[in-house]
Homo-oligomer: A and B are copies of this chain.
Amino acid sequence: MNKNFTEIPYKIYLEEDEMPKAWYNVRADMKNKPAPLLNPVTHEPATLDELKKVFCTELAKQELDDTTAYFPIPQEILDFYKMYRPSPLVRAYCLEKKLDTPAHIYYKFEGNNTSGSHKLNSAIAQAYYAKNQGLTGMTTETGAGQWGTALSMASAYLGLDCKVYMVKCSYEQKPFRREVMRTYGANVTPSPSMETEVGRKINEEFPGTTGSLGCAISEAVEAASKNEGYRYVLGSVLNQVALHQSIIGLETKTALDKYGVKPDIIIGCAGGGSNLAGLIAPFCGDMLRGEADYQIIAVEPASCPTMTRGVFGYDYCDTGRVCPLAKMYTLGSGYIPSSSHAGGLRYHGMSPVVSQLYHDGYLTARSVTQTEVFAAATEFARVEGILPAPESSHAIKVAIDEAMKCKETGEEKVIVFGLTGTGYFDMYAYQKFNDGLMGDYIPSDEEIKASTDKLPNI
């Protein structure tokens, strides 16, 4: 195949004045709205007043608002975005050539910032609203470390305190990730810690535990509630996060429109759903309004198959059950992926927005094993230059699969996927793969049933 290397630039950058000035709230166009969050004690829909105790006021409002389609992005956030956005939409010419596929492959690369991922898009928004409300600090949890790093950066920029509960196994396996957060002035504590009631309880109940995301969330929520002027912030799952992350999809759509390109397939990795919700938002909007049709594929790890093998129902968002409940695809709040699982995307649940869209048939889901994910990551890195995060590589794997189908059929489909971040702090996992020491774990039906059977009866 003789690709024309000049027709579309390698990287499409938007000009500053082409950048989105408002976030898009896909819920406004959904006929079936995501079910409301529930108070964890009363099981009644959480009110604004209740949410304001956990989130700062503007964010609580964003969380509940399912009718306003566009939220103007405050100027201060736009200024911060300009430091690392627009992110490039890259035409994967070299990958296409390597695969010898007629497909046109594009990826939206969110890794060109120090936090190394898309998480910064929501971190700066959440930090800004906290600062604006006169708060002095934030608490959060981090698993793979991308969200914690992003929030540390945003906090440093705005002069806010930042306290991060980092899942213990990650804290120990990724000392350099921790050091980046410290360089940005954050206080980083391995979770479960002895600093919180819930941490002490979990340490007592499960001595030697290396922690989980659900547990770190509970600790961060407790720490926020006990510190005057602090709020808890979360990097995924929530409606407000999906809203902020819509910047990814909006930029992608603007860049494609600029060159008259219409995607056939849109692929995103899915853990808690932050990147996926953001990437697909404007495209789902088109579909919801009946203006266009796309094939949207969510990709999740075979070891944490929330959408492909979980159930759709109300569940706790955290192990300590202090957060509101959400209706979502879930494996049960007690589900912890096998310790052999290397990448992120290990959250037991899924964004209520993504869950509802999936439930209503606007997207499909697929699960892939980690060894095939790392093989795809390596193949991609060698020709496209970027060393991808394990999470992002789930999307790469399926993009390659779809491009190879096009090779069989001869179709020139346009494939767009989200490359959420870089793998610079995941080299321990790459080393395992390079040394041939990485295996795959696929939970049994019984294991999943045992966990989903414990869902609250709502």
Contact = CB atoms under 8 A, between A and B. Distances in A.
Interface string A59-103: 000000000000000000001001110000000001000000000
Interface string A223-243: 000000000000000000000
A256 to B, nearest CB: 18
B83 A385 contact: yes
A258 to B, nearest CB: 13
A428 B176 contact: yes
A337 to B, nearest CB: 23
A184 interface: yes
Contacts of A94: 83, 157
Contacts of A425: 176, 424
Task: Determine which residue in A6, A9, A387 has the highest number of CB atoms from chain B within 10 A of its CB, and name it.
Answer: A387
Contact of A183 (B83, B84, B381, B422): B381
Interface stretch (A10-18, A274-282, A365-373): A10-18
Contact of A434 (B6, B183, B424, B428): B183
A427 interface: yes
Contact of A382 (B11, B112, B175, B185): B185
A47 interface: no
A111 to B, nearest CB: 9
A385 B157 contact: yes
A10 B79 CA distance: 9
A13 B13 contact: yes
A182 interface: yes
Contacts of A157: 94, 382-383, 385
**Copies of this chain per assembly:** 2
Interface in A291-334: none
Interface in A352-372: none
B381 A184 contact: yes
Contact of A79 (B5, B184, B386, B431): B5
Interface string A153-186: 1001100000000000000000110011011110
Contacts of A385: 83-84, 113-114, 153, 157
Contacts of A386: 113-114
A166 to B, nearest CB: 15
A113 to B, nearest CB: 6
A197 interface: no
Contact of A179 (B11, B384, B431): B431
Contacts of A23: none
A417 interface: no
12 contacts: A6-B16, A11-B82, A112-B112, A113-B385, A114-B387, A157-B382, A176-B424, A179-B430, A182-B430, A182-B434, A183-B381, A185-B382
Given A13-B13, A83-B384, A180-B424, 17 more contacts: A9-B16, A83-B94, A84-B385, A94-B157, A112-B112, A113-B386, A114-B385, A116-B424, A156-B382, A157-B383, A176-B428, A179-B428, A179-B431, A182-B431, A182-B434, A183-B434, A184-B382
